[in-house]
Structure 1
Amino acid sequence: MATTITTASRRLAGRGSATRRKRGPLGLLAWLCGMVFFLPVAWMVLTSLHSEPDAATNPPSAGAPLTFQGYREFFGVTSGVSPWPPLINSFSASVLSTLLVLVLSIPAAYALSIRPVRKWTDVMFFFLSTKMLPAVAGLLPVYLIAQNAGMLDNITLLIILYTSMNLPIAVWMMRSFLSEVPLEILEAASIDGAGLPTALSRIVAPVVAPGIAATALICFIFSWNELLFARVLTGVVSSTAPVFLTSFVTSQGLFLAKVCAAAVCVSLPVLIAGYAAQDKLVQGLSLGAVK
Structure 2
Amino acid sequence: MARKVSTTRKAVMTALAWGIAIVIFFPILWTILTSFKTEADAIASPPRFLDFDWTLQSYAEVQSRSNYFSHFLNSVIIALGSTAVGLLVAIPAAWSMAFQPARRTRDVLMWMLSTKMMPAVGVLIPIYILFQRFGLLDSRVGVLVVLMLINLPIIVWMLYTYFREIPAEILEAARMDGARLWDEIRHVLAPMAVPGIASTALLNVILAWNEAFWTLNLTTANAAPLTTFIAGYSSPEGLFYAKLSAASTMAIAPILILGWFSQKQLVRGLTFGAVK
Scaled to the shorter chain, the TM-score interval is over 0.9
Say which one has the larger Rg: 1
Match of 1:26 among 7, 13, 18: 13
Deviation per CA, 1:119-151, whole angstroms, max 9, x where unpaired? 212321331232232100000010111111122
Given the alignment, which residue of 35, 40, 61 partners 1:48? 35
TM-score by length of 2: 0.94
Q: Which residue, out of 92, 96, 100, partners 1:111?
A: 96
Of 239, 246, 255, the residue aligned with 2:240 is: 255
Matched, 1:143 2:128: yes
Corresponding position: 1:209 with 2:197 = no
Q: How does 1:2-151 map to 2 (within 5 A)?
A: 16=4, 19-62=6-49, 63-76=51-64, 79=65, 81-151=66-136
Secondary structure of the residue aligned to 2:59 is helix
Q: How far 1:21 sits from its partner (Å)?
A: 3.1
**How far apart are 1:220 and its partner, in Å?**
1.0
Give me the TM-score of the superposition, normalised by structure 1.
0.89
Cα drift, residue 167 of structure 1? 0.6
Q: Is the 8 A contact 1:114 1:183 kept in 2?
A: yes
Number of residue pairs matched by the alignment: 274
Give a deviation string over 1:85-130, Cα, whole Å, max 9, x none.
2221111111101000111111111111122234212321331232
**Identical amino acids, percent of aligned pairs:** 38
CA–CA distance in structure 1, aligned partners of residues 261 and 177 of structure 2: 36
Q: Who is 1:4 aligned against?
A: none
Gaps of 5+ in 1: 1-11
Point out 4+ residue stretches in structure 1 off by more than 4 angstroms: none
Q: Contact 1:186–1:203 at 8 Å: present in 2 too?
A: yes
* 1:122 maps to amino acid: D
Q: Offset at 1:29?
A: 0.8
For residue 169 of structure 1, the aligned residue among 154, 157, 174 is 154
Q: 1:125 & 1:61 partners in 2: Cα distance?
A: 48
CA distance in 2, matches of 1:243, 1:212: 29
Residue type of the alignment partner of 2:85 = L
Going from structure 1 to structure 2, the CA distance change for 1:272 and 1:140 (only over 3 Å counts) comes to same
1:273 corresponds to 2:263 = no
After TM superposition, the structure 1 stretch with the greater mean CA deviation from structure 2, 37-46 or 174-183, is 37-46
Matched letter for residue 249 of structure 1: S
Q: For residues 100 and 225 of structure 2, what CA distance do their matches in structure 1 show?
A: 39
Q: Which residue of 2 aligns with 1:225?
A: 210
1:163 to partner: Cα distance:
0.9
Residue range with higher mean Cα deviation, 199-208 or 59-68: 199-208
For 1:157, which of 142, 146, 158 is the aligned residue? 142
Deviation at 1:54, TM superposition (A): 0.9
